Amino acid sequence: MLAYGGKILRINLSKGKITTENLSEDLIKNYVGGRGFAARLLYDELKPGVDPLSPDNKLLIASGPLSGLFVPGAGKTTFASKSPATGSYGDSNVGGMLAPEIKYAGYDVIILEGKAVQPSYIYIENDKVEIRDAKKYWGRGAITTEKMLKEDLGEQFQIATIGPAGEKLVKFACISHDFGRQAGRTGVGTVMGSKNIKAIAIRGTRSLKMKDPKLLKKLSSDIIAIGQKHPNTKLFIEQGTASVTNWSNEQGAFPTRNFQSGYFEDHKKISGDVMIKETIVTNKACFGCPMACGKYAKTRKNNRDYYVEGPEYETAAMIGGDCAIGNIHDLTYANWLCDELGVDTISGGSVIAFAMECYEKGIITDKDTGGVKLKFGDIDSFEKILRQIVNREGIGDLLAEGVRVAAAKLGQNSGKFAMEVKGLEISGYESRKAPAMLLSYMTCDIGGHHNRAWAITHDIAVGRDKIEGKAPKVIELQHQRPIFDMLGCCRLQWVELETPLDYYSQVLTAATGIKFTLDDLIKASERVWNLTRLFLIRESKDFSRKVDYPPARFYEEKVQTGPTKDSMATKEQVNQLLDEYYEFRGWDKDGRPKAEKLKELGL
Amino acid sequence: MKLVADSKKCTGCRLCMSVCSLVHFDEANPKKAALYIDAKFPEPGTFHTRICDQCGTCASVCPEEAITKRDEDGVYIINAEKCTGCGECVEACPLNVMFVHEDSSVPIKCDLCKECIPVCSTKVLSLKEIKAEVKSKK
């Protein structure tokens, strides 16, 4: 199995049983790797209706066929499970060095199933796989745990760990890796915590062999040389994704005060150029990445230095804008808090912004918060509420369930501004005047996430009021972008450096010796998209197009300030977007894949 | 000639290590590279690029005379047929850049193929004359 690790490592935590299985050629050809493998295996292995936090759920850690090879950005790992946020297929990917290490140890996918009897961590060194006691690390922060494990095992071990939020089953707990990278979304850290697993430590020393290493070397060297000359290489090495902050505000797309506005008046105080002056210590890349978007930063508070990678754009948007934290040092500290406690900054920011608005409106009071005056822009009350969430104290216990559950309990029409789709909090783009982006959030298979189809640039290019014709572009992106999650490779070289997509099919063919065309990859991606839709349908009680509706704020309330002031989508437009989308997808009026479509995809 | 590194510019991407193993072994395995990146995290958050400066200590301690200086550029090369894998050079290397891997008893040492230089987008690595450096050390 050239270029692949070749094996699935299955760890049954309840029985303490560790086994391996060979990858099947059918799985490779139809699902490629990474997210593709995860979706297929979870669909096949999970019984319908399993509780996401029960031992019956599984956590999959998947590399891709390009992970660990001499390919730019080939360091992406997918974590996948049935999501405690959405109750359907969920995944989240992380950069860093993990996927290559999984491959060098000889695996493509690690499956954690069952539940360990006591807090444990997984130790993997090539064939040596053990479930070890983790008492020493339980209760510790994610950054602290990674540091301790590297000291205990050796710095060559790659670590993926949860923080206290994952242990306490906060529904938006992340998995942290490489001192600043997170698989943040869909509660993958929550599932890991539910299995009593604190961390995975892995070291692999084996080589990956390729069909035509010389061709791969040439293809990648050429692509790297072209990419180095692209102006965005310099921009991303200097500012990373924080370079998007100013632009997003100019477009009125920056979520502000729980999406009441699309423009944050203090955005220039938290942008990438401020980070260069104030906080950045070093530029930090994931494996094989020539554009090093990670900004490793330092801030000082209460006579202590705090080191953290970030804030990334999404953190700037969801804690900076959405909670109105308009000071780079406060924001960097908030980022550190979330990373150490093991909280997704996107959902975490959204949940606290929601709580801030509830407090402002009197839906949450001092009685609920234990006297904390929860205010937009106030880092101290942000920290207090975040700690209540992680400790599941007071109102924090409810907020730890995410905005959908919290709004259902709090009532008073708070569901209107619970900014989620399918139970997953929406990430950093105000979308009332960006129908393609709105549709992208509505239809994203894991819930309100941007990365499946970052379509806002398309709205800007072809007209932000235009509804018709947006669906085909969203679908095109939803097929292209997840290819990277299947390959185990970062998409930013394609998005920002214009690396042609057929480079990836060429390099995959050179590596594996299996003929993959770009069309094959797009078809596989569409297959996975339909499979995760079938997963959602299987898990839904009363399935209808309503699962794809955005929060009512987007179609009942106008944007309050900034360049998109007074804009609003309508319910009719929402339905129009869905009609067009379902038609182009070959789905019925409720959003179910039609039999012909499933047949075409071999499902 | 030898490699020099401006570690302050290093982002820790390991493309240098990646291409090194690919060129020398036709394999993807940064643990079979002739250079290494030391990452110091979470504090102080720095990378250090560890590279061979062709000082020749390895050759001077080799009991088999398996490491010799290449005339044209002064680079020390291991003769794999003569090497017994005794590990003397690995022990003696002052920069810890004689790398050992389970696949072979012969250590992995920089042969100055220069492939690592162009793949680095922050231009950490460059070439320098050996003579000039020896003088400045004194």
Range A234-248 average pLDDT = 96
Average pLDDT, chain A: 98
Instruction: Answer yes or no: is B130 within a domain.
Output: no
Rounded to the nearest angstrom, the minimum Cα separation between A37 and chain B is 22
Instruction: Answer yes or no: is B131 within a domain.
Output: no
pLDDT at B130 (0 to 100): 85
Beta-sheet pairing, A208-209 with B27-28:
antiparallel
Candidates A284, A299, A507, partner chain B, best to mutate (most B CBs within 10 A): A284
Name the CATH architecture for the domain at A237-421.
Orthogonal Bundle (1.10)
The domain total for chain B is 1
For the stretch A321-356, pLDDT in tens is 999 999 999 999 999 999 999 999 999 999 999 999
pLDDT at B135 (0 to 100): 42
| Contact criterion met (CB < 8 Å) for A283 and B122 | yes
Range A91-96 average pLDDT = 98
Q: Contacts of residue A209 in chain B, CB cutoff 8 Å?
A: 26-27
Residue of A244, A243, A283, A294 whose CA lies nearest to A96: A294
pLDDT at A480 (0 to 100): 98
Q: Does A163 touch chain B (CB under 8 A)?
A: no
Domain A7-203, what fold?
Answer: Aldehyde Ferredoxin Oxidoreductase;  A, domain 1 (3.60.9)
Q: Contacts of residue A155 in chain B, CB cutoff 8 Å?
A: 39
For the stretch B51-96, pLDDT in tens is 999 999 999 999 999 999 999 999 999 999 999 999 999 999 999 9
**Domain limits, chain A:** 7-203, 237-421, 431-480+517-600
Range A119-137 average pLDDT = 98
Q: Does B63 touch chain A (CB under 8 A)?
A: no
- Residue B133 scores a pLDDT above 90: no
pTM comes to 0.97
Cα A335 to Cα A292, A304, B42: the distances in Å are: 19, 15, 14
Domain housing B27: 2-122
Does domain A431-480+517-600 sit in CATH 1.20.1440.230?
no
CATH of the domain at B34: 3.30.70.20
For the stretch A37-73, pLDDT in tens is 999 999 999 999 999 999 999 999 999 999 999 999 9
Cα separation, B90 vs B99, whole angstroms: 7
Asked if the domains at A7-203 and A237-421 fall in one CATH topology, the answer is no
Cα angle, residue B130 at apex, residues B129 and B131 outer, rounded to 5°: 95
Q: Does B45 touch chain A (CB under 8 A)?
A: yes
| Contact criterion met (CB < 8 Å) for A291 and B121 | yes
Cα separation, B15 vs A547, whole angstroms: 43
When CB atoms are compared, the residue of B15, B28, B45 closest to A208 is: B28
Q: Is the dihedral of CA A24, A30, A32, A33 positive or negative?
A: negative
Residue B131: pLDDT band (50, 70, 90) is confident
**The pair of three-digit structure tokens given for residue A314, joined into one six-digit string:** 């999404």
pLDDT at B134 (0 to 100): 44
| Contact criterion met (CB < 8 Å) for B15 and A225 | no
- Give start and end residues of each alpha helix (H) in A498-585: 501-512, 518-539, 553-556, 571-585
For the stretch A160-202, pLDDT in tens is 999 999 999 999 999 999 999 999 999 999 999 999 999 999 9
Rounded to the nearest angstrom, the minimum Cα separation between A383 and chain B is 22
Range B101-127 average pLDDT = 98
Instruction: Answer yes or no: is B134 within a domain.
Output: no
ipTM of the complex, rounded to two decimals = 0.96
Rounded to the nearest angstrom, the minimum Cα separation between A414 and chain B is 40
